[in-house]
Structures are given as structure tokens and as C-alpha cells.
């Protein structure tokens, strides 16, 4: 895979554009223009727009794994709390980063709301493993207090928060201009979601 070749430039341009405006709204012409290639090159190298998108999913998934490994260098004896913190931080980074490492997270978020035919593949490949990991974390944190259904819902509530600040950023930053979503803001956000969720899990039964 020549990183300067036309094929790779197309993939790169597609990642930048599709992760920002979605598969349907991104046009082949815009992608090719950004890649400095002819419109016909998409068919030549990938067979069509849809195939380019599928290839982008594969590529960006690997790129995402490289930058956000499932177990981000935590010591083997790290506490569940530390693990949850790492999970949340990684989730936020995955969405708010810039560049190719964040493409997959953004594409994933789009697929959740407006699925294409690729959703099933994404669910099995990326989302389900993350969901299972999160559920196991919650289970450990909750001890014997929560039943399976409650653990599941708590996991979804945590993922909901991680996604929301990216998905609804257009509104959040309008209503709360004081809320910055830069690098430091992500750290603060991590602390908040962790505190909110830990307290929620621990006090769930009482409430």
C-alpha cells in the first residue's frame, strides 16, 4: 500500500470527508478532487463508491485499533475503576481526535444513527467487543448488587454519555459556550463521566 499512491490518497480523502459528512452526503467528485485524482479513479481502484466505503471501514478500523488498543497499557492488576477511566478516555479520544485514528469512531457513530449495509459487520467487529468489555467492567464494579439486566443498562448509560458530547456537540457548544471540547476539555469530561457513572453504579440500588 503505497502511501503516496493514488489509491491511498483516495482512501485518505474519503476518510476525511465521509467521517465528517457521512457516506451519502460525501460525493465521489469531492473525494477525487481532494485526492487530486480523476473521478474515474474510484471505479478503477475500488469498483465504486460503496466498495470504497467498505475498504475505508476496514482500513480505519485497523488504524483505530493501532491508536486505541482495547487494553491501553494498563498494569495487569489495574483496578476496575482505573480500567473504566481508561475505557471512557479512550472512547472520548476516539471521537474527538483529528486525523485518521478517529475516522472509524466517527463512522461508527454515523452508522448507529443512519445504518448502511455495513452496520452488521461493524457491530460484530467493533461494537459488540466494546460492549462486552464495558459490561464486564460494570459487573466488577457493581459486585453482587446488580442483576444482569441492570448491569447491561448501566453499560449503555456510560456509552451514551461518551457518545453524546461528540454527537450533540453542535448543540452543546451553543447552549453551553463555556464548555470547551479541546484536549484539556476531554480530560475534564473523562473525570466527569467517570465520577457520574461510578456514583451511579454504587448508589443504583438505593435510588
Give the binding site for a copy of itself (CB under 8 A). Answer: 22, 24-25, 111-115, 119-120, 123, 127-128, 131, 149-150, 152-154, 156-157, 159-161, 163-165, 167-168, 170-172, 174-176, 178-179, 189, 192-204, 206-207
Per CB under 7 A, contacts with DNA among 10-49 are 26-30, 37-44, 48-49
Question: Are 179 and 172 within 8 A, CB to CB?
Answer: yes
Nearer to a copy of itself, 33 or 152 (CB): 152
Q: Taking the complex as a whole, how short is the minimal distance between the CB of residue 154 and a copy of itself, in angstroms?
A: 6
Question: Are 89 and 190 within 8 A, CB to CB?
Answer: yes
Q: How far is CA 11 from the centre of its chain?
A: 19
Residue 77 DSSP label: T
Choosing among DNA, a copy of itself, none, which partner's interface includes residue 139 (Cβ < 5 to 8 Å by kind)?
Answer: none
Q: Taking the complex as a whole, how short is the minimal distance between the CB of residue 15 and DNA, in angstroms?
A: 15
Question: Are 42 and 52 within 8 A, CB to CB?
Answer: yes
Extract the C-alpha cell encoding 181.
Answer: 471540547
Q: Contact region for DNA (CB under 7 A) — 5-13, 77-85, 94-102, 147-155?
A: 5-13
Extract the C-alpha cell encoding 155.
Answer: 453499560
The verdict on 106 binding DNA (CB under 7 A) reads no
CA distances from 2 to 8, 9, 11, 51, 116 (A): 7, 9, 11, 19, 29
Distance CA 11, CA 84 (A): 33
Q: Taking the complex as a whole, how short is the minimal distance between the CB of residue 24 and a copy of itself, in angstroms?
A: 7
Extract the C-alpha cell encoding 127.
Answer: 461494537
Choosing among DNA, a copy of itself, none, which partner's interface includes residue 195 (Cβ < 5 to 8 Å by kind)?
Answer: a copy of itself
Contact footprint for DNA (CB under 7 A): 5-7, 26-30, 37-44, 48-50
Amino acid at each position: 500500500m503505497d502511501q503516496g499512491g493514488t489509491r491511498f490518497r483516495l482512501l485518505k480523502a474519503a476518510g476525511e470527508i465521509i467521517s465528517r459528512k457521512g457516506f451519502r452526503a460525501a460525493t465521489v467528485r469531492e473525494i477525487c478532487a481532494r485526492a487530486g485524482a480523476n473521478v474515474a479513479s474510484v471505479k478503477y481502484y475500488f469498483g465504486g463508491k460503496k466498495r470504497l466505503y467498505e475498504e475505508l471501514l476496514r482500513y480505519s478500523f485497523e488504524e483505530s485499533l493501532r491508536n486505541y488498543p482495547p487494553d491501553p497499557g494498563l498494569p495487569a492488576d489495574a483496578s476496575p475503576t482505573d480500567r473504566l477511566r481508561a475505557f471512557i478516555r479512550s472512547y472520548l479520544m476516539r471521537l474527538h481526535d483529528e486525523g485518521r485514528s478517529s475516522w472509524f469512531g466517527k463512522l461508527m457513530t454515523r452508522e448507529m444513527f443512519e445504518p448502511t449495509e455495513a452496520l452488521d459487520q461493524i457491530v460484530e467487529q467493533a461494537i459488540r467487543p466494546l460492549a462486552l468489555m464495558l459490561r464486564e467492567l460494570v459487573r466488577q464494579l457493581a459486585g453482587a448488587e446488580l442483576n444482569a439486566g441492570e448491569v447491561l443498562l448501566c453499560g449503555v448509560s456510560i456509552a451514551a454519555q461518551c457518545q453524546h458530547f461528540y454527537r450533540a456537540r453542535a448543540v452543546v457548544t451553543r447552549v453551553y459556550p463555556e464548555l470547551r471540547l479541546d484536549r484539556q476539555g476531554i480530560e475534564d469530561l473523562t473525570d466527569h463521566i467517570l465520577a457520574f457513572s461510578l456514583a451511579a453504579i454504587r448508589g443504583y440500588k438505593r435510588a
